[in-house]
Structure 1
Amino acid sequence: MTTIPDSLTTTYKRWAALDQRPQGSFRWRPGSWSNRFTRVDAPHLEGVNLEASVKEAADDAAKALGGVGDRIDRNVVRALHSPAKLRDTDGSPNPQAVATAFIAAMVWGYGTSGYGPYRTARVLSTDPRAMEHLIEIASIAQDPEQGGRAAFAKISEQRAKGERYLKYLGPAFGTKFLYFLTAASDKVETTPVLDAVVRRWFRDEAHETLYTTWWDPDSYAKYLGLLDEWREKLPEANGSALLEREDVELLIFASARGDADLWLTSDDLVRPEELSLGELLDAVKVEIDQLAARPREDNREGPDLLRQLIEWVERDDAVSEGGTL
């Protein structure tokens, strides 16, 4: 049994005192996503209109949040992953709906950063059978006899064969898709996000090693096991009801980011529109890890130099004060 880190217990108590308020909505840029999918070099997927997918996500967000579609939250994205939504009336997969769900998951994952549309388009362009594979993963994740762990293992297995199976979709963002697929179904266990922010929190606070630079099923199994262990123990602090896995992941994210005081006490729980230095550094660290993991002879000095740059920037008082770019 792994001891629950004090930082998680503290964050949980603060959250419980506020009646377990949900994570709020945040701004995104539908126009940027639409523009990426209307370019000459945009992915061309048979039977799928990616611009229409962006519009549907924005329209659904506008209806749910009472705005103009430029805000989004977990509930909006989860609804787009509903098993009924992803299939036609005859039970066959609906490629357009799956594409919309995937894009919505990426919108939520990339948040306010400007490189989300490019990264998502790269995943859909590089794998010549991208939609077939997304549909396959969605089907496995929502299958009561398989679920999110099986979907994770499927991607790992295909990648190990050296195939271009959803190439450039790493676990950090791939598990966001798996999270929404499983959270939207009442037939499977929810499998939350395992990204670089969560990985570093486990390293620093729980002294547990997890991997997010490649699809490592053992890491994901360990992660889910700890979430299950802690979700049963945390409520003992004040006699609350059993937590869900995704609740613990949310608390870990808040603890890792150091912004639990901000979003757990804010009136509307809205993320800042600007890209913070912390978010930018998180993104760069993921890129460095991926570069270092490549089996090449000529990339040894590059990652080390980039890490030195990161360490230098992190020592700057602007980062510790939460400055923005």
Structure 2
Amino acid sequence: MTTPPDVLRPTYERWKKAGYPTQPSFAWRPESWRKRLQSTDIPKAEFTLTDCIQTIVERTAQPEDGSRPRIDRKLVTTLHSPETLVVNGAYVEQAVVTAFLASMIWGYGATGYGPYRTARVLTSDPCAIAHLTETAERAQATADGGIDAFDHIAESRKNTQYLKYLGPAFGTKFLYFLTAASSTARTTPVMDAVVRRWFRTHAGIDLVTWRWEKDQYRTYLEALDAWKGEFTRKDGTPFERDDVELLIFSHSRGDDEVWDSAPVTLSTDALLDLLQSDIDQIADRIDSPHGPALLQQLADWVARSGATDS
């Protein structure tokens, strides 16, 4: 499919009319992450996970009214930059874990189960920190580092606990920030349940996001590459992959939810997405596609009923 689905054009026009807004920041709960992670034991680590959380807290915006700190894409990207991760030519494990935690905080948003799930990733694989560091190195090493890192995880997961419980839906969030922060690697955007449902509905492409499959990420990125030339940024330069992903996310979740920083009520699509993340984790653990397939049937039924929020 060399041209973007028709639904992207009006989304782009609304985005342009709104002044090319970026995804807004959101408030997060450092205390929830500290509470969970302070009791999470990482063998052989020379730092604590609460040290990493403190670094993120110090970098996030602190509202003058005393409300909770806010986090956004720009901050998380900065924490993934090679200038932050690399010291004397080597990737620093504490910096990598801090970046990973930031990407998970951003990915889970205001949901309450992010700290638990993130801790599970770090404890279920005995070499999780080394594997996260290896992922960072691969992702930022070459122009196609994001794909290389994805493929390496997919291959390593076949017979080991390599980053167990980190599925593609959240693993590609880490890869996105690693590549977006690199001047070497081409940006490889998030491929999660929101993207999967959108592609199935509007592009006729079935992406697998509940387990690591090499060809799936390539299929997704090839579509973004084919479509990005149809749109331009505010300065007139062509879109990049993550610009297209922003339009897809905006269309799927609703422009107001993405572009309005005020609190919003979650739409039916957003609630389905939160449920999807649970189902994806279970499917990845037991290596079965049945749960995601059943949830897709539910999503299709909701769509046919016309009950989705506008």
TM-score for the superposition, normalised by structure 1: 0.84
Asked if 1:281 is matched to 2:281, the reply is no
Evaluate the alpha carbon distance shift between residue 271 and residue 217 of structure 1 in structure 2; reply closer, same or farther with a 3 A threshold.
farther
In structure 1, the partner of 2:247 is 251
| Residue 188 in structure 1 maps to residue 176 in structure 2 | no
| C-alpha contact (below 8 Å) 1:112/1:275 kept by paired residues | no
Q: Distance in 2 between matches of 1:311 and 1:225?
A: 26
User: For each residue in 1:16-69, what CA deviation from the matched residue of structure 2 results, as whole angstroms up to 9, or x when unmatched?
Assistant: 223311111011111100111112x55455112210111111210126999766
The answer (yes or no) to whether the contact 1:24–1:271 under 8 Å persists in 2 is no
- State the distance in 2 between where 1:115 and 1:316 align: 30
Other-structure match for 2:18: 18
Deviation at 1:280, TM superposition (A): 3.5
For 2:188 and 2:292, the matched residues in 1 are separated by 31
Report the CA distance shift for 1:69/1:101 in structure 2 as closer, same or farther (over 3 A).
farther
Whole-Å Cα distance in 1 between the matches of residues 265 and 112 of structure 2?
Answer: 10
| CA 1:42–1:310: 2 relative to 1, 3 Å | farther
Partners in 2 of 1:204 and 1:9 — Cα distance?
16
1:110 pairs, out of 108, 111, 115, with 108
Partner of 1:140: 138
Count, aligned residues:
309
Cα separation, partners in 2 of 1:126 and 1:23, compared to 1, 3 Å: same
The one-character-per-residue Cα deviations of 1:113-161 (angstroms, maximum 9, x if unpaired) are: 000000000000000000000000000001026510000000001012x
Change (3 A) 1:94 1:277: same
Deviation larger for 279-288 or 178-187: 279-288
Measure the CA separation in 2 of the matches of 1:157 and 1:66.
48
- 168-177 vs 210-219, greater mean Cα deviation: 210-219
Once the two structures are overlaid, the 10-residue window that deviates more, 130-139 or 11-20, is 11-20
**2:255 aligned residue (252, 260, 266):** 260
In the alignment, the residues of structure 2 paired with residue 143 and residue 243 of structure 1 have an alpha-carbon distance, to the nearest angstrom, of 23
Q: What's 1:2 paired with?
A: 2
Q: Distance between the aligned counterparts of 1:66 and 1:175, measured in 2?
A: 34
Output the CA distance in 2 between the equivalents of 1:32 and 1:241.
Answer: 41
| Residues 176, 188 of structure 2: 8 Å contact kept | yes
Does residue 1:73 correspond to 2:72, yes or no?
Answer: yes
Query: Which residue type is aligned with residue 284 of structure 1?
Result: L
Q: For 2:264 and 2:257, how far apart are their aligned partners in 1?
A: 14
Q: 1:262 to 1:38 in 2, by over 3 A?
A: closer
Change (3 A) 1:315 1:227: closer
Please report the RMSD computed on the Cα atoms of aligned residues, expressed in angstroms. 3.0
Mark the CA change 1:174 to 1:306 in structure 2 (over 3 Å): closer, same or farther.
closer
State the partner residue of 2:167: 170
Opposite residue 155 of structure 1, the aligned amino acid is I
Aligned equivalent of 1:35: 35
In structure 1, the residue matched to 2:308 is: 320
User: C-alpha displacement at 1:234, in angstroms?
Assistant: 2.8
Question: 1:256 is aligned with what amino acid?
Answer: S
Name the CA distance, whole Å, in 1 between partners of 2:205 and 2:221. 13
List per-residue Cα deviations over 1:63-112 (Å, max 9, x = no partner).
69997662100001000001011012x11211111110000000000001
Give CA-to-partner distance per residue, 1:263-294, whole Å, 9 cap, x none: 44xxxx32637766543422323433554563
Q: Distance in 1 between matches of 2:65 and 2:222?
A: 38
- Percent of pairs identical after alignment? 48
1:201 to 2:198 alignment: yes
Q: Which runs of 4+ in 1 moved over 6 A?
A: 63-68, 302-317
The answer (yes or no) to whether the contact 2:41–2:123 under 8 Å persists in 1 is: yes
User: Where do 5+ consecutive residues of structure 1 fail to align?
Assistant: none
Instruction: Give the deviation of 1:165 after TM superposition.
Output: 0.3
Distance 1:230 1:99 in 2: 34
Q: Deviations over 1:297-323 (max 9, x none)?
A: xx97x8888778778888999x7347x
What 5-or-longer segments of structure 2 have no aligned partner?
none
Which amino acid letter does the alignment assign opposite residue 121 of structure 2?
V
**In structure 2, what is the Cα distance between the partners aligned to 1:49 and 1:150?**
29
Cα displacement string for residues 220-245 of structure 1 (whole angstroms, at most 9, x for unaligned residues):
11111111111102349x99420111
TM score, norm. by length of structure 2: 0.88
How many angstroms does 1:170 deviate by? Answer: 0.3
* Secondary structure, counterpart of 1:113 in structure 2: coil
- 8 Å contact from structure 1 (residues 45, 131) kept in 2: no
